[in-house]
Amino acid sequence: MIRRSGFGWLEFIVGVLLIILGLYTFTRPIEAVMTLVIVYGILALLMGIGDIVMYIRASRFTGFAPMLSLVSGILSVMSGIMLIAYPGAGALVIGVLFPLWFITHCIARLARLEWMKSIIRSGTFYCLMALNITGIVIGFLLLISPYHAVISTVYLVGAYLVLLGAESIVLAFSKAGSR
């Protein structure tokens, strides 16, 4: 009979790889962004081709959905080719869209804060208000410098990868202690 060790080797290996990827992201943020943009480009291209194939299969049906699939497919293919051919432009787009999303998200939260006032404590209300106003200010600061928006996003991704790696390693060792 083969006796297995209780150590979680798969979790350990995945954890080490995630930490290496996270550290690589920290040390080479520009390369990480360009790689990410190219991966998004490949995915957009493949999704666009899928949408066009869906249109071809569904074109005999009438209605709005098949045409929407064709338009979506063409736009996705064009976007994918642009991201693959010009990753710098893709990084700039991310650098502009991320702050805009940040600003709109915080504005939406502030807009519903008045409604939430009746169900949360006043301390929580003012804390959420301050956080969302701060988020709007940060969003505008990132919008002024799209480069910093991209780099800050990359550093957040790098930190998250390191944390995921650490979690996997902890899980690997916890399996050894559970037997």
pLDDT tens digits along 76-121: 899 889 989 998 888 888 778 778 888 888 898 888 777 777 777 7
Structure tokens at 121: 């404590």
The b-or-e profile of 44-63 (16+ CB within 10 A means b, else e) is bbebbeebbebbeeeeeeee
Rounded distance, CA 166 to CA 15, Å?
A: 6
Q: Is 43 helix (H, G, I), strand (E, B) or coil?
A: helix
Q: Is 59 helix (H, G, I), strand (E, B) or coil?
A: coil
Angle value at C-alpha 76, between 64 and 142, nearest 5 degrees: 115
pTM beyond 0.85: no
Q: Is 41 a residue whose pLDDT tops 80?
A: yes
pLDDT tier for residue 151 given thresholds of 50, 70 and 90: confident
Q: Is 85 helix (H, G, I), strand (E, B) or coil?
A: helix
Cα within 13 Å of Cα(162), Cβ side = 12
Asked if residue 3 lies in contact with residue 152, where contact means CB atoms within 8 angstroms, the answer is no
Q: Is 4 a residue whose pLDDT tops 60?
A: no
Residues 6 or more apart in contact with residue 164 via CB below 8 angstroms: 15, 18, 22
